[in-house]
Amino acid sequence: MNSSSPTLSQKQERHFLLVLSAIQFTHILDFMIMMPLGPQLIRVLRIDTHQFGLLLSSYTFTAAASGLLAAAYVDRFDRRTLMLVLYVLFILATLCCALAPNFAFLLAARALAGAFGGILGAMVQTMVADVVPFERRGQAMGTVMAAFSLSTVAGVPLGLFLASHLDMLGWRAPFLFIVLLSGVVLAAAHRMLPSLTAHLQRGIRGNVLRQIHAVAKEPNHRRAYLFMSLLMFGGFTVVPYIALYYTANLGLQDNFIALIYLCGGAATFFTSRLIGRLADRHGKQRMFRIIALASFVPILVTTHLVPVPWWLVLINSTVFFILVPGRFIPGMAMITAAAAPQVRGTFMSLSSSVQMMSSGLASLVAGLIISRNPAGQIEHFNLVGYLAVACGIASLWIVRRLTVAQPAAAARQEN
Mean pLDDT of the chain: 80
Helix H, strand E, coil C: the string for the chain is: CCCCCCCCCHHHHHHHHHHHHHHHHHHHHHHHCCCCCHHHHHHHCCCCHHHHHHHHHHHHHHHHHHHHHHCCCHHHCCHHHHHHHHHHHHHHHHHHHHHCCCHHHHHHHHHHHHHHHHHHHHHHHHHHHHHCCHHHHHHHHHHHHHHHHHHHHHHHHHHHHHHHHCCCCCCHHHHHHHHHHHHHHHHHHHHHCCCCCHHHHCCCCCCHHHHHHHHHHCHHHHHHHHHHHHHHHHHHCCHHHHHHHHHHHCCCCHHHHHHHHHHHHHHHHHHHHHHHHHHHHHCHHHHHHHHHHHHHHHHHHHHHCCCCCHHHHHHHHHHHHHHCHHHHHHHHHHHHCCCCHHHHHHHHHHHHHHHHHHHHHHHHHHHHHCEECCCCCEECHHHHHHHHHHHHHHHHHHHCCCCCCCCHHHHHHHC
User: What mean pLDDT is predicted for residues 405-411?
Assistant: 48
Question: In the structure, what pLDDT confidence band is assigned to residue 409 with cuts at 50, 70 and 90?
Answer: very low
Question: Using one digit for the tens of pLDDT, what is the confidence trace for 275-305?
Answer: 888 888 888 889 999 999 999 999 999 999 8
Question: Using one digit for the tens of pLDDT, what is the confidence trace for 54-89?
Answer: 787 788 778 878 777 776 666 677 788 888 999 999
Pick the CATH number of 10-192+207-414 from 1.10.10.10, 3.40.50.720, 3.40.630.30, 1.20.1250.20: 1.20.1250.20
What is the pLDDT, as a whole number, of residue 165? 75
In the chain, % of residues over pLDDT 70? 81
What is the pLDDT, as a whole number, of residue 382? 92
- Would the pLDDT of 383 be above 80? yes
Question: Using one digit for the tens of pLDDT, what is the confidence trace for 322-358?
Answer: 899 888 888 888 887 787 777 777 787 788 778 877 8
**What's the pTM value of the predicted model, to 2 decimals?**
0.69
Q: Which of 113-117, 139-143, 287-291 has the lowest mean pLDDT?
A: 139-143
User: What mean pLDDT is predicted for residues 234-250?
Assistant: 81
What is the pLDDT, as a whole number, of residue 105? 94
